[in-house]
C-alpha cells in the first residue's frame, strides 16, 4: 500500500523523529516502494499458522524477586546529558 | 622471522604457550598494524595502552601458570558490544561519547579467558546495513581492492576488514540478517552466527532482539571455533540465553564428515545469480562429495518470502528497541521548546537516514490498523520459513548454499537504492528468522580476484557439525589468498 506525506508526518510524530517538510515526500516514496515489495507476503497461505515471535522454544525463566544491583547513582548518571545531585535533569513534563 | 600479524589465532596461542614470543610482543605488533591501517577505517577507537596493559597482565598470568584459553590473543571488538569505560557508539551519533559502566557478557567471557582488546571496530549504524556505509564514522574500506575501493560488507565490516588485513587475530561480530556472514564472504574470512541463544545478548546494543546473535569472525575455521567456545555460554542476564553445555568447538574441526547428508536447497538458485557464484556452489558440493558426504536436493519453498518478512520484523523490533534513545539518560540531547520537541530534535539529529527509515517502517507496521496486515502476517510467514527448515533437517544434517549473491561491490554503488542493498542478505536472512546456526567460509576467488563465500546451515545447537564440514571445505579449498597490502 502506498503511503503519502501526511502518513509519514503522522508516523514520524509517533516515532518522535522530527522530519522536515521537504523530506516527507521522498520518504513517502521510499517507504511505499519498500511496502510494495513487502506485499508479496500476501501470496503465502498462513491460515491457521501460529505467529512466530521467537526461535527459542523454552519458556522464559523465573528468578527470585529480589534486588540484584543498584544503589550507585554516580554510575547510573555517568552518561547523563544533564544531571543535578542524584537526578537526571529533563525538560519540564507537567505544564 | 615470524611475522606475528600473519599468524592464525591457533598458531599465536601455540607460540605463546611455547614462549616463542610474549603476549606483549604479539600485542605491540598488532597495535602497530592497527595504526598503519587507518586508511581502512576499520577501527573507530584504538585502545593501545589498554591493550599493552592487558598483554602484560597476560604474560604475568602465563608466568604463574594461570593462562586461559585465549590468553594474550589480541582481538578487535565490534562497537556494538558495551565495554566498560571504553566509548561504545553503535556507530551512531545518538550515543555520542557513551561510556558504558558495565561490560557485555560476550566480551567479559573473552577477557575471562585472557584475550586482549585492541579497540572498537566500525559497523553500519546500529548494525543496519550491508556495506558499512551507514556508519556515522564513514565506511570501512575492504582490504581487497581492485580498480576501485570496495565495501567489506556489513554490518560487521570493521570486524571482517580488520581480520582480513591482519590487524587482529579475530574479532567479535553480530548477525541479525547476515551481518557476520556477508562481510566474511566479502573479505575471505570465516564467520559463524551461532544458534539464537548460544551467546548472551546482554550488553550488546539491541537492533532486533529476536534475531540478533553474536559470533566471531576469524581467519580459519579452527580460529572461529576457538573464539566461539569462549564467547558462548548461558547467562542469567539474558532471558533468551540457552542453558546448554558449551563444547570445545575446536574438537569438531578435522573430524570426518563421511556419511553426512548435505541438503542443497533448490530455491537458492535465484534468477540472475552470477555464474561464478553458481560455479563456486557446484565446487563446494563436489568437495563435500569427495569428503564422503551424500548430497540431497531439498526444498525450502518459502525462501523468497524471508527478506520481505525480515523487513517487517526487524524494523518493528528496532522501532521498539530504539525508543530508548530519547536524549534524557545518555547520548545526544538537542533541546526543543518542550519535552516532545526535545525528543524529536534529539532523535532527528542523532539517527542517520537508514536508521530513521527503518524506525518509520517499524512504527508504521506496528501502528493501529496495520499490525495484523503487516506484522502478524510476517510472524506467520516466519513460522512457515522455520517449518521449511524443520522438514529439510528431517532428511539432511546440514545445508550448503552460497553466502551472498555477489562478491564485494564498490563503495557507493548500492547506496541510493535501499531495496538493492537489502538483497545482499537473500541467502543469510532465513537462518536468523529460524534461529539456526550459519557459517560462511571462503571458497575461492572470482575472475576479478575477489573472495567468494560458501554458507553452511545447521540444526539448532549443532554448530559442531558446521565446524566439521567447514574444516573439510577449508582443507579442500586451500584458500591461501590474501589482499595485497595497499594501505
Mean pLDDT by 10 residues, chain B (487 residues): 91 98 98 98 98 98 97 98 98 97 98 98 97 97 96 98 98 98 98 98 98 98 98 95 96 98 95 91 98 98 97 98 97 95 98 97 95 96 98 98 96 86 92 98 96 98 98 97 96
Q: What is the DSSP letter of B411?
A: T
Q: Does B311 touch chain A (CB under 8 A)?
A: yes
Position A29 in a domain: yes
d(CA B90, CA B257) in angstroms, rounded, equals: 39
The residue of chain B with its CA nearest to that of A26 is B357
Strand order in the sheet with B43-46: B43-46, B116-121, B74-78, B170-175, B213-218, B190-193, B438-445, B451-458, B398-402, B261-265, B294-298
The sign one gets for the Cα dihedral B89, B90, B91, B95 is negative
Is the CB of A2 inside 8 Å of chain B's CB atoms?
Answer: no
Cα separation, A58 vs A49, whole angstroms: 19
Q: Does A61 touch chain B (CB under 8 A)?
A: yes
Helix (H) or strand (E) holding B431: helix B429-434
What CATH number should be reported for the domain whose range is B4-255?
3.90.1300.10
What pLDDT was estimated at residue B1? 58
Contacts of B436 in chain A (CB under 8 A): 55
Structure confidence at residue B334 (pLDDT): 97
Distance CA A27, CA B388 (A): 35
Residues of B belonging to the active site? 78, 155, 179
Are B206 and B464 contacting, i.e. CB atoms less than 8 angstroms apart? no
* Residue A62 sits at the chain B interface (C-beta within 8 Å): no
For A93, counting Cβ atoms within 10 Å of its Cβ (0-12 exposed, 13-18 middle, 19+ buried), the class is exposed
Is the Cβ of A26 closer than 8 Å to some Cβ of chain B? no
Reduced to 3 states (helix: H, G, I; strand: E, B; else coil), residue B215 is: strand
Query: Is there a contact between B23 and B72 (Cβ–Cβ < 8 Å)?
Result: yes
Does the pLDDT at position A95 exceed 80?
no
Give a yes or no: residue A10 inside a domain. Answer: yes
> In total, how many domains does chain A have?
1
Helix axes B377-392, B306-321, angle to 10 degrees: 120
Supply the pLDDT for residue B267: 94
Contacts of B331 in chain A (CB under 8 A): 79, 81
- Write down the pLDDT at residue B421: 86
Residue A73 CA to residue A75 CA, distance in Å, equals 5
Domain map (residue ranges) of chain B: 4-255
Distance of CA B231 to the CA centre of its chain: 13
User: Is residue A12 domain-resident?
Assistant: yes
Chain B, window 368-427: residues with a beta carbon less than 8 angstroms from a chain A beta carbon: 374, 376-384, 386, 418-419
Assess whether the previous peptide bond of B155 is cis (omega < 30° from 0): yes
Q: Is residue A54 part of a domain?
A: no
With a CB-CB cutoff of 8 Å, which residues 445-464 of chain B face chain A? 460
Please indicate whether, in this complex, the C-beta atoms of B328 and A90 are within 8 angstroms of each other. Answer: yes
Q: How far is A42 from chain B (nearest CA, A)?
A: 8
pLDDT above 80 for A1? no
Helix or strand (DSSP H, E) at B256: none
Q: Find all residues with CB under 8 Å of B412, minimum gap 6, and list them.
A: B133
Chain A CB within 8 Å of residue B205 CB: no
* Host domain of residue A31: 5-41
Looking at the partner chain, which of B242, B361, B383 has a beta carbon nearest the beta carbon of A34? B361
Question: Which of A10, A16, A22, A54 to mutate against chain B (most B CBs within 10 Å)?
Answer: A16
* Assigned domain for A55 exists: no
Beta bridge mates, A27: none
Tell me which residue in B196, B319, B361 faces A31 most closely, judged by beta carbons.
B361
User: Does residue A26 belong to any structural domain of this protein?
Assistant: yes
Mutate to test the interface with B, among A38, A76, A86 (most CBs of B within 10 A): A38
On whether the CB atoms of residues B190 and B169 are closer than 8 A, the answer is no
* Partner A contacted by B335 (CB < 8 A): yes
* Minimum-distance CB partner of B356 among A17, A42, A75: A17
Neighbours of B349 (CB within 10 A): 15
pTM of the full predicted structure? 0.97
Residue A31 covered by a domain: yes
A5 touches chain B (CB under 8 A): no
Distance from CA of A17 to the nearest CA of B (A): 4
Q: Per the domain annotation, does A25 fall within a domain?
A: yes
Of the candidates A30, A50, A91, the beta carbon closest to that of B357 is on A30
pLDDT on residue A32: 96
Q: Is B302 on the interface with A (CB under 8 A)?
A: yes
User: What are the angstrom distances between the C-alpha of B270 and each of B44, B160, B283, B404, B405?
Assistant: 37, 26, 18, 11, 9
A3, A9, A15: which to substitute to probe chain B, counting the most B Cβ within 10 Å? A15
Which pLDDT value is given to residue B223?
Answer: 98
* CB contact at 8 A, B313 and B382: yes
The pLDDT assigned to A63 comes to 87
Whether pLDDT at A57 is above 80: no
Amino acid at each position: 500500500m502506498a503511503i503519502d506525506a501526511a502518513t509519514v508526518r503522522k508516523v514520524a510524530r509517533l516515532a518522535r523523529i522530527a522530519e522536515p517538510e521537504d523530506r516527507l515526500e521522498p520518504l513517502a516514496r521510499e517507504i511505499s516502494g519498500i511496502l510494495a515489495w513487502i506485499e508479496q507476503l500476501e501470496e503465502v497461505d498462513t491460515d491457521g499458522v501460529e505467529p512466530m515471535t521467537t526461535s527459542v522454544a523454552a519458556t522464559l525463566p523465573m528468578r527470585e524477586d529480589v534486588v540484584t544491583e543498584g544503589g550507585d547513582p554516580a554510575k547510573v548518571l555517568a552518561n547523563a546529558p544533564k544531571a543535578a545531585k542524584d537526578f537526571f535533569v529533563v525538560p519540564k513534563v507537567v505544564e | 622471522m615470524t611475522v606475528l600479524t600473519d599468524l592464525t589465532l591457533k598458531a599465536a596461542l601455540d607460540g605463546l604457550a611455547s614462549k616463542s614470543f610474549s603476549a606483549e610482543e604479539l600485542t605491540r605488533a598488532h597495535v602497530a598494524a592497527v595504526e598503519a591501517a587507518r586508511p581502512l577505517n576499520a577501527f573507530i577507537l584504538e585502545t593501545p595502552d589498554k591493550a599493552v596493559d592487558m598483554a602484560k597482565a597476560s604474560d604475568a598470568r602465563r608466568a604463574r601458570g594461570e593462562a586461559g584459553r585465549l590468553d594474550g590473543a589480541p582481538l578487535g571488538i565490534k562497537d556494538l558490544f558495551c565495554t566498560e569505560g571504553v566509548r561504545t557508539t553503535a556507530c551512531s551519533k545518538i550515543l555520542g561519547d557513551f561510556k558504558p559502566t558495565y561490560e557485555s557478557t560476550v566480551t567479559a567471557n573473552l577477557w575471562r579467558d585472557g584475550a586482549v582488546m585492541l579497540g572498537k571496530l566500525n559497523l553500519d549504524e546500529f548494525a543496519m546495513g550491508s556495506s558499512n556505509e551507514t556508519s556515522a564514522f564513514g565506511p570501512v574500506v575492504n582490504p581487497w581492492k581492485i580498480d576501485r575501493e570496495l565495501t567489506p560488507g556489513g554490518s560487521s565490516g570493521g570486524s571482517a576488514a580488520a581480520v582480513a588485513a591482519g590487524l587482529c587475530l579475530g574479532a567479535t561480530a553480530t548477525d541479525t540478517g547476515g551481518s557476520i556472514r556477508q562481510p566474511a564472504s566479502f573479505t575471505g574470512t570465516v564467520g559463524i552466527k551461532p544458534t539464537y541463544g548460544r551467546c548472551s545478548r546482554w550488553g550488546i546494543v539491541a537492533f532486533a532482539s529476536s534475531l540478533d546473535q553474536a559470533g566471531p569472525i576469524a581467519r580459519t575455521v579452527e580460529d572461529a571455533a576457538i573464539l566461539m567456545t569462549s564467547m558462548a555460554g548461558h547467562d542469567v542476564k539474558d532471558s533468551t540465553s540457552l542453558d546448554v553445555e558449551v563444547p570445545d568447538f575446536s574438537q569438531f574441526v578435522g573430524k570426518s564428515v563421511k556419511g553426512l547428508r548435505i541438503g542443497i536447497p533448490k530455491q537458492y538458485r535465484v534468477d540472475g545469480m552470477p555464474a561464478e557464484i553458481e560455479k563456486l556452489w557446484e565446487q563446494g558440493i563436489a568437495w563435500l562429495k569427495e569428503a564422503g558426504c551424500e548430497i540431497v536436493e531439498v526444498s525450502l519453498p518459502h525462501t523468497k518470502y524471508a527478506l520481505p518478512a525480515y523487513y517487517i520484523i526487524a524494523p518493528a523490533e528496532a522501532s521498539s528497541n530504539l525508543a530508548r534513545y530519547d536524549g534524557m539518560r545518555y547520548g545526544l540531547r538537542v533541546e526543543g521548546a518542550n519535552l516532545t520537541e526535545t525528543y524529536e530534535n534529539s532523535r532527528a539529529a542523532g539517527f542517520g537516514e537508514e536508521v530513521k527509515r527503518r524506525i518509520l517502517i517499524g512504527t508504521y507496521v506496528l501502528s493501529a490498523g496495520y499490525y495484523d496486515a503487516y506484522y502478524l502476517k510476517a510472524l506467520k510467514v516466519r513460522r512457515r520459513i522455520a517449518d521449511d527448515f524443520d522438514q529439510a533437517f528431517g532428511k539432511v544434517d546440514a545445508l550448503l548454499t552460497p553466502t551472498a549473491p555477489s562478491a564485494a561491490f564498490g563503495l557507493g554503488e548500492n547506496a541510493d537504492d535501499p531495496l538493492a542493498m537489502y538483497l545482499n542478505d537473500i541467502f543469510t536472512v532465513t537462518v536468523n528468522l529460524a534461529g539456526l546456526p550459519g557459517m560462511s567460509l571462503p571458497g575461492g576467488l572470482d575472475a576479478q580476484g575477489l573472495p567468494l563465500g560458501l554458507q553452511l546451515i545447521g540444526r539448532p545447537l549443532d554448530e559442531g557439525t558446521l565446524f566439521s564440514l567447514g574444516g573439510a571445505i577449508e582443507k579442500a579449498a586451500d584458500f591461501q589468498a590474501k589482499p595485497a597490502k595497499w594501505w
